[in-house]
Amino acid sequence: MKDLYVLDASGFLYRSYFAIRNMTNAKGESTNALFGFIRSVLKLYKDFHPKHIISVFDGPNNCQTRTAIYADYKAHRAETPADLIEQLKWAQQACELLGIPYLSIPGVEADDTMGSIAFWAKEQGAKVYLCTSDKDMCQLVDEQIVILNTHKENQILDIRGVEEAHGVLPTQMIDYLALIGDSSDNIPGVAGFGPKTASTLLKQFGSLDQILRNIHMIPGKKQEMLVKGADSARMSRELVKIDTQVPFPKDSTFFELHQPNREELKEFYTRMDFKSLLREMDAILTSPTETPTAAPSKETETTYTLVDEESAFEKLLTRLATHKEICLTSKLSASYPLKSSWMGIGFAVAEGAAWYVPANGHLGLGRVVAGLKKLFQNPNIHFFGHNIKCDYLILANQGIQLERIDFDVMLASYLLNSHKRQHTLEDLMLDHFGKTKLSLSAHQGKGKESLSSTNEIVKTYFCEEADYTFRLKKLLQKQLEERHLLPLLMDLELPLTTILAKMEQAGIYIDLPKLSALSKTLMHQIAQLEQEIYELAGEEFNINSSKQLGEILFTKMGITPPKKTATGLSTNADVLESLKDAHPLAGKILTYRTLEKLRSTYVDTLPGEVDEKTHRIHCTFNQCVAATGRLSCQDPNLQNIPIRTEMGRNIREAFRPEKTGWSYLSADYSQIELRLLAHFSGDPHLIEAFKNGDDIHRRTAAHIYGVPLEQVTREQRSSAKTVNFGVLYGQGAFGLSQELGISNKEAAEFIEMYFRLYPNVKEYLESCKEKTRLTGKSTTYTGRERSIPEIHSKNGQIRAAAERFAINTPIQGTAADLIKLAMIKIDEKLNFQKIEGFMILQIHDELIFELPDHEISSVEHLVRDAMEGIFQLNIPLTVDITIGKNWKEC
């Protein structure tokens, strides 16, 4: 045994538990600590390729020895979180599957087991690497034992490293720790002694005993502290000293790293939803000298064919024309359709067989497009794929219309598992077939080594995509039918796909000279603010540096810091908001940050998003991101263009119709989520308010503040609005108090008064949570499902978030479905009436249209009728419509 790596498994797990938050598997079980632990182990594998290793856990009842010395040892520590306890067991299971021996000795702390192993291994002539970040272990360091901190870029502390880090030699570490104590373990040390004092005295006197013998030589208060704390120091020394006499298996073969149990490890990773670990499994677990032995393939034999000759192309087109349904996959050289070249297209009509037609091979682009147009114009054939909207746009760029779409594997996966973040083909292949998707980028070289369109890798890539998309369609369609979700796909999500594709094609025009002028104004305001900030601070500093700002506020100006994070004193927006009254600098910083964000995120960035050919911005709308069914937007995110500030509204002013004599029409559902709450809860007071057209926020304000309606102030209405929406989103007293800047007690009273006014609402919200507890899911009006297994989590924070999801999903999800159905209805009417105007944006409850002025009246009526008539509810749906020559005017 040449080298031995001793892992502080308990330390790895605790560190990961607090560093990685709210990570769960499909069952809602916490997996954050386990994931971090495995990642740490695999990093060690990758960086050091150990042959001998041991993973050491705290044993049960491990504090007995030290509590016998000091009853309050670790007394202030909270109980181990319930969701961490089960992860400790899984970590031991992971060690078994990874081939790592482990120890968890009853009544013994991990430190003592690690120390005992290290001393024994040293006697066997081994170099010992203690893989830990615990400073207590530095007392063990000598010529053969070192600390390896993998969390700090594999920092190794040898004898010199310990001295540089702590100011004392390893042989003095026990005395050093005895003097300074350890708050995490509740070891008292000597009151008033810190690392600097301890290291200075140990350098002068050599040891704790010598220091105590020469107390008379120590000047000032330190002498008094030592006199009072001498016994505490001696006791602390016993507590920090690592026991190196713990019994364990003293056989070098016990510490050998074994081959991992790949099949069971794969099942384990799958159960925990560790997709990244599944994808990396073979690469990481194979040592540099080992050739991985592949398990016998369980895959169906495949026939993947490159079609790049005229006769083969004609034969393929003829064959495909005999099928009623065809799977396709089409790809670009980059992610943005309008700026990328078309690579080619793949087809599949049966499992295990696929064809790839390159767009720029021997056939030539013109011949491929002409042949495919004929295929796609066939009225008897329907097409499906994965993320079919992308295929629609790619083919549209070539003048090919993909109209008859009957399935989308990505949308199907989303409807079945909306709570999952990823629905990529790579993830679905891994989830359902245990198949790692071929990566094109991994084989992509540069220059002469770059992949050609007819390369074997490219052929396999396209054919594999088409083949597995075909397989997934069969599988997922059956699941949709079993769960009665197929109508959602066929009647809502698929029709919406082509509408979104057309919106992305149309894009939105932006006035670049207007943005340029805004940029100059912003730069002037920011520069002026900088000078004001420097004057208030009394010096120049990096305003964007949280650390430097913290030093100015909390050190130089002596302001009491309200919040501290793991990385230091917080200067986030909440903190600065609370400090505005304490010092004007905080307010200036907030204004500076707002303007700087507007400049960097929008004003100076949006011009770069304008397409050179169309002179418009073409964003991407995502159907498979938000678990509630809401659409999201990216590249750029036009749903997030600010409106609350004057400068934000000025940015919206830059968005305008491209043609003269055209306008924008904005149609916005009025208080749609509160209206849905009234319908679902059946609360008579809420229903009456909406039927009468009352101002719901003013009505709530009058009740919670105990004033007549006509006397409600603007501020009171604003607070009531926060209460209305806070209750809707499951917000408790603490969250509401933070939002309104009031006490917890006052916030709790507001909520209680709200429920007195609308008693059915409270019953409804509780029923949402109870239904989710019973079924594990939340459902919208249209039947859309969101799995919420975390509602049974042992972690209170995760469970509380799940309860909020249970309340919010039926409301927000129904609102999302409502406007999607309205978009479909409006699109049908626009097409039927041959309206020249078109839909360009959806911002959650709002639709934006670009249209000629002479169509304003007809489109206004068309849109209002469609949006207000989508659902028949207990309360009326109301749509606010505004017209403007730019987005700001809307």
Cα atoms in the Cβ-side hemisphere of radius 13 Å centred on 252: 13
Residue 288 pLDDT class (50, 70, 90 cuts): very low
Residue 883 CA to residue 665 CA, distance in Å, equals 5
Residues 62-88, mean pLDDT to the nearest whole number: 89
pLDDT at 290: 45
% of the chain residues with pLDDT over 70: 95
SS3 labels along 391-403 = HHHHHHHCCCCCC
DSSP 3-state assignment of 851?
Answer: strand
What's the pLDDT at 559? 80
* Model confidence at 567: pLDDT above 60: no
Structure tokens at 874: 């207990």
Which residues are within 8 A (CB) of 239 and not within 5 positions of it... i.e. 6 or more apart? 66, 69, 70, 73, 185, 187
Task: Give the Cα separation of 803 and 809 in Å (integer).
Answer: 10
User: What is the rounded average pLDDT of the residues 532-552?
Assistant: 90
512-608: what CATH class?
mainly alpha
CA distance linking residue 851 with residue 859, whole number of Å: 9
Q: Taking residues 357-385, what's their average pLDDT?
A: 94
Which CATH code for domain 672-814?
Answer: 1.10.150.20
User: Is the distance from CB of 739 to CB of 752 less than 8 angstroms?
Assistant: no
Class at the top of the CATH hierarchy for domain 3-167? alpha beta
Q: State how far the alpha carbon of 435 is from the alpha carbons of 275, 410, 428, in Å.
A: 11, 17, 9
What is the mean predicted confidence (pLDDT) over 718-739? 88
Q: How far apart are CA 464 and CA 480, in angstroms?
A: 24
Give pLDDT, residue 570: 81
**If phi over 0 gives left and psi between -120 and 50 gives alpha, with beta otherwise, what is residue 436?**
beta
pLDDT of residue 539: 92
Q: 582: Cβ–Cβ under 8 A, 6 or more apart, which residues?
A: 559
Encode pLDDT of 160-217 as tens digits: 999 999 999 999 999 999 999 998 899 999 998 999 999 999 999 999 999 999 998 9
Phi first, then psi: what are they for 329, rounded to 5°? -145, 130
Q: What does the pLDDT read at residue 297?
A: 41
pLDDT interval class at 568 (50, 70, 90): low
Residue 830 has pLDDT above 90, yes or no: yes
pLDDT digit string (tens) for 630-676? 999 999 999 988 888 888 899 999 999 999 999 999 999 999 999 99
**pLDDT at position 126 over 60:** yes
Residue 578 is predicted with a pLDDT of 77
Residues 6+ apart with CB under 8 A from 748: 733
Q: Is the pLDDT of residue 861 over 60?
A: yes
CA distance readout (Å), 841 to 188, 363, 504, 826, 848: 63, 39, 9, 13, 5
* Both tokens assigned to 562: 């309200």
Average pLDDT of span 220-239: 92
Which residues does residue 330 pair with via DSSP β-bridges, in sequence order? 345
Parallel, antiparallel, or unpaired for β 127-131 and 838-843? unpaired
- Sheet-wide strand order for 3-8: 102-103, 53-56, 3-8, 127-131, 145-149, 155-157
Task: Categorize the per-residue pLDDT at 296 as very low, low, confident or very high, splitting at 50, 70 and 90.
Answer: very low
Residue 563 vs residue 279, higher pLDDT: 279
Contact predicate 166/173, CB 8 Å: yes
What CA–CA distance (Å, rounded) separates 156 from 146?
7
Q: pLDDT tens, 569-610?
A: 788 887 887 787 778 888 899 999 999 999 999 999 999 999
Question: In this predicted model, what pLDDT tens digit does every residue of 757-782 receive, in sequence order?
Answer: 999 999 999 999 999 999 999 999 99
For residues 786 and 777, give the distance between their C-alpha atoms in angstroms, rounded to a whole number.
5
Q: Is the pLDDT of residue 840 over 80?
A: yes
Q: In one letter, which amino acid is 321?
A: A
Q: Alpha helix (H) ranges present in 545-655?
A: 546-550, 573-579, 584-597, 646-653
Over residues 425-433, the mean pLDDT reads: 93
**Beta bridge mates, 407:** 384
Q: How far apart are CA 33 and CA 19, in angstroms?
A: 8
Give me the pLDDT at residue 564, please.
59
Which of 409, 368, 361, 413 lies closest to 385 in space, CA to CA? 409
> CA 168: distance to chain centroid?
43
Contact 52, 252 (CB under 8 A): yes
Whether the model pTM is above 0.95 = no
Q: What is the pLDDT of residue 449?
A: 46
Q: Which residue has the higher pLDDT, 155 or 31?
A: 31
Reduce the secondary structure of 487-538 to three states and give it as a string: HHHHHHHHHHHHHHHHHHHHCEEECHHHHHHHHHHHHHHHHHHHHHHHHHHC
Report the chain's mean pLDDT, rounded to a whole number.
91
Reported as half-sphere exposure (CB side, CA atoms, 13 A), residue 834 has a value of: 0
pLDDT (mean) for 706-728: 91
Task: Note the CATH number of domain 303-443+450-508.
Answer: 3.30.420.10
Nearest residue to 561 (alpha-carbon basis) of 586, 545, 579: 579
pLDDT at 414 over 60: yes
pLDDT of 442 above 70: no
Do 747 and 740 meet the contact criterion of CB atoms below 8 Å apart?
Answer: yes
- How many angstroms separate the CA atoms of 268 and 98, rounded? 11
Range 285-295 average pLDDT: 44
Q: Are 405 and 497 in contact (CB under 8 A)?
A: yes
How much is the pLDDT for 289? 41
> Hey, where are the domains in the chain?
3-167, 303-443+450-508, 512-608, 672-814
Q: Is residue 456 very low, low, confident or very high in pLDDT (cuts 50, 70, 90)?
A: confident
Q: What pLDDT was estimated at residue 285? A: 63
Centre a 10 Å sphere on the Cβ of residue 257 and count the other Cβ atoms it contains: 18
